[in-house]
Amino acid sequence: MISLPGEMQPIHTHATDVVIERAIKQALLIEDDPGVRDLVELFLGSLGMDVTSCSAEQEVLKLPNYDFDIIVSDVMLASGKTGPDLVRGIRSKRPEIACLFISGYKHGALSNEDLTHPKTDFLAKPFSKSEFGKRVQTLLNL
């Protein structure tokens, strides 16, 4: 059975303690700058991931569910809500989702509360493809 981005498909197994991992990881990208969004989509794609991109809060809220392995979110969004606000809402339903916050603001971009989740990291813009890839892989392996 195939799980498409944003769609959760049931996995049926009769074995206990079996962990089933997707062959292709699913990423949710929340970024309002088109240039940064395109670049990060390419970076995630080069890691072999399927990417669902949203540029505003309204697009995120329209998703049927949050069947993603990782969220990459800008901290400050032009739509009103911040990336951390949206991620907290998603994690209230799916607390296991990893998140990499990105921002042009190096200091004070996130509160300590935003960084307390064990599968959370922050990367300041601009960043290299190599550093981005390392952070994503580390979060996915937690």
Would you say residue 36 lies in a domain?
Answer: yes
Burial class (CB within 10 angstroms; exposed 0-12, middle 13-18, buried 19+) of 16: exposed
CA–chain centroid gap for 55, Å, is 13
| Residue 54 CB-density burial (10 A; 0-12 exposed, 13-18 middle, 19+ buried) | buried
Rounded alpha-carbon distances, angstroms, from residue 4 to 7, 68, 139: 5, 10, 21
Whole-model pTM over 0.85: no
pLDDT digits (tens, 9 = 90+) for 54-102: 999 999 999 999 999 999 999 998 877 899 999 999 999 999 999 999 9
Is the confidence at residue 16, as pLDDT, over 60?
Answer: no
| Residue-range definition of the domain harbouring residue 87 | 26-140
Is the pLDDT at 1 greater than 50? The verdict is no
What is the C-alpha separation between 43 and 46, in angstroms, rounded? 5
62 domain-assigned: yes
Judge whether 2 lies within some domain. no
Total count of domains within the chain? 1
The CATH number covering residue 77 comes to 3.40.50.2300
